[in-house]
Amino acid sequence: MEHSDFGKRFAGKIGIGELMDDLGNALVADPAPLMLGGGNPSHVPQVQALFRKRMEAILAEPGEFERLIGNYDTPQGSKSFIEALVELFRNEFGWNLGPENIGLTNGSQNSFFYLFNLFAGRFGDSRRKKILLPLAPEYIGYSEVGLEKDFFQANRPEISRLNDHIFKYQVDFESLELTDEVGAICFSRPTNPTGNVVTDEEVNRLRELASRHGVPLVIDNAYGTPFPNIIYEDVRPVWDENTIVCMSLSKLGLPGLRTGIVIAQQEVIQIVSRMTSVFSLAPGGVGPGLALDLVSSGEITRISREIIRPFYESKVKRAVVQLQEEMSGVPFAIHKPEGALFLWLWFEDLPITSRELYERLKKKGVLVVSGHYFFPGLDEPWRHKDECIRVTYAQDDEVVEKGLSIIADEVKQLYSSQ
Ligand SMILES: Cc1ncc(COP(=O)(O)O)c(C=O)c1O
């Protein structure tokens, strides 16, 4: 069977595909490996109880369940959910937006496919544009969504070393190149894989740069405020006509319902909705249906602030303390955990690559993600790309603890055998 150029892109190995396979296989393997590799959010009992209650209410209401599962929404998505989101963003942040500024998709992965291919790729016969990722490392899920080759241009970060084996990446504005080839700027905040939160000052400088060059600034808010609020820094969320904020219900605890939210100027929302009509007719309606009451009452913000954030914050503190104890004597560093579900570990001058470390850990029953996947668009040689791994702390404490101990033992052995 002959494959088109488009088909060939999917015939070889794909980072995100391997990751999702590992994750899926881990869930059914016996004995199950210690799964510190995926991006699955925790099953937070109080939040799950709320969604169960909400589903029971839907089932109890005559005709409500049938309406939820039995109808297509418009390509823009559930009108009532969009109106509730508009109110929430107006009340919480004072954003000046209306229903024409919000479109739903089948998960934010889906949103990025639409948006990136809208702003980058081929422009007529001779011009091409790229997505600028101003702060590598960046989310693995972006890496293959471009329909054209050479789709990303990424910028190496500045590294600030803090106390207690902690470091932080910052945007290196000196080396940030915004040529005519850039079609949009994008970053995740909090960042997957590092847990970094790009500061308000950095965001403002990027906004200013984007608007000066007439390109949109895309902010991936999958872990940010007001929901799911897996963010431990106080930051000011921004939106304006030149900014596109992407959100999702996944990390709130509903990854199975595939609901993404795009907040943008009307023209972008119209195009995103038309893309949805072509690629999937309509966004799923179950996620919006289940979350509607929480959004319209504003409860979603309270739950995110009072339940979700403290839940993850206590897990990350535990994990950091454990690593600092068990790795003492080793030249390790942890990216300052400011949000999201991950610890990004840097093993400077590690005698093997992070990919080899991943293989060794897999043999010992722990799954992590090798850091080299997270540098889409950064082609220059840089040893650092092969010195990091991403581990999630969203799993049960016992699993995280065991997994981190095995990682610490392995890494200590590697350094001592040098
Ligand atoms: C930074 C970031 N953006 C987007 C996504 C995609 O989320 P979803 O497609 O489930 O909404 C993820 C998922 O892990 C993520 O970590």
Can you give the CATH number for the domain in which 113 is found?
A: 3.40.640.10
Q: Is there an atom of ligand 1 within 6 Å of 108 CB?
A: yes
- In this structure, the answer to whether residues 16 and 34 fall within a common structural domain is yes
Residue-level pLDDT at 285: 97
Report whether residue 188 contacts ligand 1, using a CB cutoff of 6 Å: yes
Q: Dihedral, CA atoms, 39, 40, 46, 47, nearest 10 degrees?
A: 90
Residues 6+ apart with CB under 8 A from 27: 35
Taking only the tens of pLDDT, the chain with its 418 residues reads: 888 888 888 877 776 677 677 767 776 777 888 999 988 999 999 999 999 999 999 999 999 999 999 999 999 999 999 999 999 999 999 999 999 999 999 999 999 999 999 999 999 988 999 999 999 999 999 988 998 888 999 999 999 999 999 999 999 999 998 999 999 999 999 999 999 999 999 999 999 999 999 999 999 999 999 999 999 999 989 999 999 999 999 999 999 999 999 999 999 999 999 999 999 999 999 999 999 999 999 999 999 999 999 999 999 999 999 999 999 889 999 999 999 999 999 999 999 999 999 999 999 999 999 999 999 999 999 999 999 999 999 999 999 999 999 999 999 999 988 7
State the Cα–Cα distance between residues 305 and 63, nearest whole angstrom.
33
Nearest residue to 403 (alpha-carbon basis) of 393, 413, 412: 393
Q: Could you say which of 272, 300, 328 is where a domain stops?
A: 300
Of 300, 324, 352, the domain-final residue: 300
Secondary element (H or E) of residue 347: strand 342-347
pLDDT at 15: 66
Ligand 1 centroid – CA 246 distance (Å):
10
CA distance 266 to 278: 19
- Does residue 151 share a domain with residue 139? yes
Ligand 1 atom at shortest distance from the alpha carbon of 259? 11
Coil, helix or strand at residue 34: strand
The structure tokens 């999917």 sit at: 10
Tell me the C-alpha distance between 333 and 121, whole Å.
37
Ligand 1 in contact with 141 (CB < 6 A)?
Answer: yes
Query: Which domain range does residue 321 map to?
Result: 5-43+303-416
163 and 286 both lie in a single domain:
yes
- Same structural domain for residues 106 and 155? yes
Question: Residue 36 in contact with residue 366, Cβ under 8 Å?
Answer: yes
Q: In a mutational test of the pocket of ligand 1, which residue from 192, 247, 390 has the highest number of ligand atoms less than 8 Å from its CB?
A: 192
195 lines ligand 1 (CB under 6 A): no
Residue with CA at minimum distance from ligand 1 atom 1: 192
Q: Are residues 138 and 281 in the same domain?
A: yes
CA distances from 121 to 179, 215, 266 (A): 15, 14, 22
First to last CA, the chain: 49
End of a domain among 273, 300, 327?
300
Distance 405 CA to ligand 1 centre (A): 28
Cα of 315 from ligand 1 centre, angstroms: 20
Residues 36 and 104 in one domain: no
C-beta of 194 in contact with ligand 1 (< 6 A): no
Residues 348, 403 share a domain: yes
Rounded to an integer, what is the distance from CA 85 to the centroid of its chain?
20
Same domain, 81 and 100: yes
Region for residue 94 given its phi and psi (left: phi exceeds 0; alpha: psi -120 to 50; beta: otherwise): left
H helices, E strands: number in the chain: 13, 16
Closest CA to 280 of 256, 254, 258, 255: 258
- Ligand 1 pocket, 250 CB below 6 A? yes
The DSSP 8-state label assigned to residue 8 in this structure reads: H
- Identify whether residues 242 and 386 lie together within a single domain: no
The number of domains in the chain is 2
Which residue's CA is minimally distant from atom 3 of ligand 1? 222
The CATH number of the domain where 343 resides is what?
3.90.1150.10
Measure 7 CA to ligand 1 centroid, in angstroms. Answer: 24
Are 10 and 87 members of one domain?
no
Atom 14 of ligand 1, nearest CA residue = 39
Q: Mark whether 250 and 393 lie in a shared domain.
A: no
The encoded tokens of residue 329 equal 């004597």
- Check pocket membership of 105 for ligand 1, CB cut-off 6 A: no
76 Cβ below 6 A of ligand 1? no
Q: Which residues contact 127 (CB under 8 A, 6 or more apart)?
A: none
Question: 111 and 131 in one domain?
Answer: yes
Atom of ligand 1 nearest to the CA of 188: 1
Tell me the CA–centroid distance for residue 225 and ligand 1, in Å: 14
Distance (Å, whole) CA 375 – CA 395? 25
What residues form DSSP beta bridges with 35?
367
Of all atoms in ligand 1, which is nearest to the CA of residue 255? 10
Angle at the Cα of 139 from the Cα atoms of 136 and 142, rounded to 5 degrees: 105
- Ligand 1 centre distance from Cα of residue 258 (Å): 10
